[in-house]
């Protein structure tokens, strides 16, 4: 009813909804923006938020979820650090009739009843978009002949790492079988430090890399430092495409050091809170609530920079 006495979000007989949220960690600019968005949207909705940071460790997420179950929260939401290994804990939540909403990243499970919905991006499509925008970047740079690509992968076993690689390869296999080649590919764990360290090693083993595809801006920014330390010009000697579109990524792009960015929107909080309320109220929701995003080339960076919200 609209006369909920505590001024809460309504729809639950006036009782404030309690949401348990297990976050991946604080590995990237994307993640900080996502955390801020979740916290402020929960506040806005009037929910009691129990927030837990897993520091990129699955075992921490599993204990956080168990503690949310023990505390009898109304809904559990989490962004799974990796895709596998969730069935046991999700069955415990199901047994206690606590609905689970996935946000940002998905899980691999043969039992679709273990979560209600996923609020997040299409990472495979982001990988495809990265390959498509690389075609433009190469053309703009006047690059002729074979293309030697280095790939900095996200966290091993994480949905965005698996799916971005998959989407990129799909376009590569279909349209660039003869001219593009991934010569090195390794995880940088979605962090700047990881990107820097792995890129330095790449440059040692493959000094003739033409392109870097980094699964996020932060690893790309770390790699830029390694490229400069090796005496090369990022954005010129090595063309760079990244994913996310955080402010620092846009800064690097406006300095000419990143050539293109595929946007992945972290501001999922408001959509998540809406879904959480519906799930609590027993309404049916779509199985996958996708985020809208765009792609950006270098010449758009300066103009777009002041409008970036994260």
Residues lying near ligand GYE in the complex (CB under 6 A) are found at 27-28, 30-31, 104-105, 160, 190, 216, 218, 243-244, 264
Contacts of 135 (CB under 8 A, 6+ apart): 175
Residue whose CB is less far from ligand GYE, 62 or 162: 162
Residue whose CB is less far from ligand GYE, 27 or 74: 27
| Half-sphere CA count of 184, side-chain side, radius 13 A | 21
Whole-number Å distance between alpha carbons of 250 and 266: 15
Residue whose CB is less far from ligand GYE, 36 or 92: 36
Q: Decide: residue 239, CB within 10 A, 0-12 exposed, 13-18 middle, 19+ buried.
A: buried
DSSP states of 42-76: HHHHTPEEEEEE-TT-HHHHHHHHHHHHHTT-SEE
Min separation Cβ 131 and ligand GYE, Å: 17
Whole-number Å distance between alpha carbons of 267 and 188: 23
Residue whose CB is less far from ligand GYE, 141 or 267: 267
Min separation Cβ 105 and ligand GYE, Å: 5
Contacts of 101 (CB under 8 A, 6+ apart): 75, 76, 77, 115, 116, 117, 118, 119, 272, 275, 276, 279
Min separation Cβ 218 and ligand GYE, Å: 6
Residue whose CB is less far from ligand GYE, 62 or 158: 158
Question: Are 23 and 268 contacting, i.e. CB atoms less than 8 angstroms apart?
Answer: no
Min separation Cβ 217 and ligand GYE, Å: 7
Min separation Cβ 303 and ligand GYE, Å: 23
Min separation Cβ 7 and ligand GYE, Å: 34
Residue whose CB is less far from ligand GYE, 105 or 280: 105
């Amino acid at each position: 009813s609209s006369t909920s006495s505590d001024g809460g979000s309504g729809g639950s007989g006036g009782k404030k909804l309690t949401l348990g949220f297990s976050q991946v960690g604080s590995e990237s600019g994307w993640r900080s923006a996502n955390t801020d968005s979740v916290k402020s949207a929960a506040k806005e909705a009037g929910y009691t938020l129990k927030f837990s940071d897993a520091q990129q460790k699955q075992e921490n997420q599993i204990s956080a979820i168990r503690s949310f179950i023990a505390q009898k929260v109304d809904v559990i939401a989490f962004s799974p650090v990796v895709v596998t290994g969730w069935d046991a804990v999700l069955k415990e939540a199901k047994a206690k009739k606590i609905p689970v909403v996935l946000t940002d990243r998905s899980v691999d499970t043969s039992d679709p009843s273990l979560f209600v919905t996923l609020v997040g991006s299409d990472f495979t499509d982001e990988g495809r978009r990265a390959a498509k925008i690389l075609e433009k970047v190469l053309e703009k740079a006047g690059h002729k002949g074979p293309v030697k690509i280095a790939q900095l992968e996200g966290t091993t076993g994480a949905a965005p790492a698996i799916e971005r690689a998959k989407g990129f390869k799909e376009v590569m296999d279909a349209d660039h079988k003869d001219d593009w080649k991934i010569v090195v590919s390794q995880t940088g764990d979605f962090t700047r430090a990881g990107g820097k360290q792995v890129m330095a090693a790449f440059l040692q083993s493959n000094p003739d890399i033409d392109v870097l595809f980094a699964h996020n801006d932060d690893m790309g920014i770390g790699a830029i430092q390694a490229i400069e330390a090796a005496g090369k010009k990022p954005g010129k000697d090595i063309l760079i495409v990244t994913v996310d579109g955080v402010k620092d990524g846009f800064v690097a792009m406006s300095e000419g050091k990143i050539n293109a960015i595929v946007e992945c929107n972290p501001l999922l909080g408001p959509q998540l809170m809406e879904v959480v309320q519906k799930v609590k109220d027993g309404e049916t929701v779509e199985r996958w609530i996708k985020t809208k995003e765009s792609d950006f080339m270098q010449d758009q960076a300066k103009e777009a920079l002041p409008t970036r919200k994260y």
